[in-house]
Amino acid sequence: MQTSKYLTREDVQSAIAELDRECKLKQEALALQFKLTYEKLRPANILKNTLSDISHTPGLGRNLLSTSVGLGVGYLTNRLLINNPAGVARKIAGTAIQLGLSSLVARKMGRWKYALRNIFSKKEKNPETAA
């Protein structure tokens, strides 16, 4: 485009046409970006991305497993020992036992896994040591 002091009618019309094309390109880019943002912010996609991030976090599965097993053991122990807690003292005792066993199992999960693995693994006995 010319930058002279005197512009012709054709120069002005071509400048307007160029600005219109530029405006349409920017509108299309904005519409595309809006669609991408909308898809990314859908609740299903947010949940999927969050779960994907969690699953790729190293060590989280091990911690989640030990915590879940600990809570499960504590809950079962509470149910087995105190079936129908009538008094406040029995409820408090049941909760304390549940919390204690949950934390104990969660902390010692590595040892539990090792012991269970040794119990259930099929080790071949050496004929020399068996006799």
C-alpha span between 84 and 78 (Å, rounded): 10
Sorted by where each begins, the domain ranges of the chain are 9-43, 60-121
Question: How do residues 42-75 score in pLDDT, each as one tens digit?
Answer: 988 888 888 777 767 776 666 776 777 777 777 7
Q: How far is Cα 121 from Cα 20, in angstroms, rounded to an integer? A: 75
Q: Residue type for 75, please? A: Y
Total-model pTM: 0.38
pLDDT by residue (tens digit) across 12-51?
999 999 999 999 999 999 999 999 999 988 988 888 888 7
Pinpoint the alpha helices (H) of the chain: 9-40, 43-55, 60-81, 88-107, 109-120, 127-130
